Amino acid sequence: MRNILLLVFFFAGLTTAAFVQGQTFYSTIDSGNWNDTENWEDGVTPVDMPNNDVDITINENDSIFKDGDFDANNDIEIHVYGILIIDGDLTVKNRFVVNVHEGGYFNVTGDVQIDAGQGNDNPGELVIDGMAVFNGALCGTGNVSGDGYLVVDGEVCDGIDFSDDITLPIELLSFSASPSGFAVEIQWSTASETNNMGFEIQRLNNNQWEVIGFVDGNYNHNGELNYAFKDFQPLEGVNYYRLKQMDYDGAYEFFGPVAAQLPGKSPEEEIKLMRAHGSVYVLVPGTDAGKMEVYDIRGNRVLSQFGNGQIHVPLPRGFYIVTFTTGKETFSARVAL
């Protein structure tokens, strides 16, 4: 009888970090550091966890911060219902699964590596139904699945297999419009792109948005990309622009608007044309030398040369946009040769 009682008390004294059918469980009860015992049920942390059959749960409303790299394997599962931040690199291998549930947030400040491990054909896996942000690269040979959102600031290697409806959204870093002589230059940059067909440039005219151009996107890309578009026929006064980012599957998103106002030019500051002896010359303002560029009506540059005063334009008849840039300012005009 005495031995039986001791056996009962022994099992009753087990915490939630004990083995249950060979598996060890850890569960959060508060927010704070990964290593602090008061943040885990029964005061048992996963710091010295075994390398097999471990289940770790970050509960809803709990935020856990882990300082340093995380390298674990062999049937370890992490369920993120709240917030988990790993300040370092993460290595996922040998059936090591990270599951970010709906409403959960998972951030790794370093690189993420998903591998099968030596002698093991079963790689690790990331299941993202919430939100995950990786500030480094995502590499390896494993799987990323789920219907949540994933942002990767670094490189995404070819070995990663994306499945289901995981989304890497367009992340816009900047969007601006500024006068460039007679034209308006529109510039924007992205931090990451997924399934991006391109950008429709729209301008507000009489309270209606009209399409004035299109710039191809880069499909799937992680890392900064810079874009530019010139509006050679802006409206008088203030011009308003917005971007319509379009995916290959028909989804779209608007960015903006931004505004630019063109300064007025006096007649002596305008670009003019002069015909003499069967040739056409561009008369540019002032006496300073500068760079003249000529664009066709589709925005393609067809001529670029330096000069001042009058510059010969050896082009066929047609409609063109001429810009002349000195070290001080830029002039533009629409001309018919």
Residue 199: which pLDDT band, with cuts at 50, 70 and 90? very high
Pair (93, 193) in one structural domain:
no
Range of the domain at 73: 2-162
Q: Which residue from 80, 67, 144 is spatially nearest to 112, judged by alpha carbons?
A: 144
Q: 29-87, pLDDT tens digit by residue?
A: 998 899 898 999 988 888 766 566 788 999 998 989 898 888 766 678 899 999 999 98
Is 200 a residue whose pLDDT tops 90? yes
Question: Confidence band (pLDDT; 50, 70, 90) for 334?
Answer: confident
User: Is 237 found in the same domain as 196?
Assistant: yes
- Are 140 and 205 in the same domain? no
Strand partners, 91: 71, 113
Do the bridges between strand 183-205 and strand 238-247 make them parallel or antiparallel, or are there none, so unpaired?
antiparallel
Among 138, 162, 186, residue at a domain's last position: 162
At which residue do the structure tokens 């010359």 appear?
Answer: 281
For residue 286, name the pLDDT band (cuts at 50, 70, 90): low
Q: Are residues 89 and 37 in the same domain?
A: yes
Question: What's the CATH number where 303 sits?
Answer: 2.60.40.3080
- pLDDT value of residue 138: 84
Q: Are residues 137 and 39 in the same domain?
A: yes
Rounded distance between C-alpha atoms, residue 221 and residue 12, angstroms: 54
Same domain for 7 and 116? yes
Rounded CA gap, 107 and 150, in Å? 10
Same domain, 87 and 198: no
CATH of the domain at 223: 2.60.40.10
116 and 235 both lie in a single domain: no
Contacts of 172 (CB under 8 A, 6+ apart): 188, 189, 190, 191, 255
Count up the domains in the chain and report the number.
Answer: 3
104 & 118 share domain = yes
Same domain, 93 and 26: yes
The whole-model pTM stands at 0.48
Q: For the purposes of burial, counting CB atoms within 10 Å of the CB of 152, is it exposed (0-12), middle (13-18) or buried (19 or more)?
A: buried
Q: What are phi and psi of 5, to 5 degrees?
A: -60, -40
The rounded radius of gyration (Å) of the Cα atoms in the chain is 31
Would you mind telling me the total number of residues written for the chain in this entry?
A: 337
Residue pair 308/284 in contact (Cβ under 8 Å)? The answer is yes
- Tell me how many degrees the CA angle 124-108-60 measures, rounded to the nearest 5: 85
Q: Examine the fold and report which residue of 162, 184, 218 is the final residue of a domain before the chain moves on.
A: 162
Q: What pLDDT score was predicted for residue 75?
A: 76
Same domain for 137 and 200?
no
Residues 113, 232: one domain?
A: no
Domain boundary among 120, 143, 162: 162
